[in-house]
Amino acid sequence: MWEKIRVVFTIPELRQKVLMTLMFLAIYRVGYHIPLPVINQEVVQQSGRTTGGFGDFVDRVAVFSASNLRQATIFGLGIMP
C-alpha cells in the first residue's frame, strides 16, 4: 500500500492533482466554519428551535438542498454550479 502512495507522489502530474484536491478540501473546510457577517446567527438558531413557520420551512429546504441551513456559513449553504 505504501508503495502505491509513494508512486503517486513520484509522478509530478499526479502529485500536483492530489495536492490541489487537498488544498480545495482544506479551503472548503475553513469556509464551512466562517459565519456569514450579514446574518444574525442567534436569530437563525432561535428560529430553528420553534415548531411551525420558518423552522419547518428551513428543515424542508435543507432536506432537498443536502445542506445545513441553520449554520449560516460561507460554504454551509452549499456549493452550487
pLDDT in tens, 38-54: 877 777 667 656 655 56
Report how far apart, in Å, the C-alpha atoms of 30 and of each of 23, 26, 70, 75, 79 are: 11, 6, 17, 9, 14
- Domain-located, residue 78: no
- Domain-located, residue 70: no
Q: Percent of the chain having pLDDT more than 70?
A: 62
- Domain-located, residue 74: no
- Domain-located, residue 75: no
- Domain-located, residue 76: no
Domain that holds residue 57: 2-65
Identity of the residue numbered 16: Q
Is the pLDDT assigned to residue 23 strictly greater than 90?
yes
Report how far apart, in Å, the C-alpha atoms of 29 and of each of 11, 19, 36, 43, 60 are: 27, 15, 15, 24, 24
Identity of the residue numbered 24: F
- Domain-located, residue 60: yes
Q: Which has the higher per-residue pLDDT, 77 or 13?
A: 13
**How many domains does one find in the chain?**
1
- Domain-located, residue 79: no
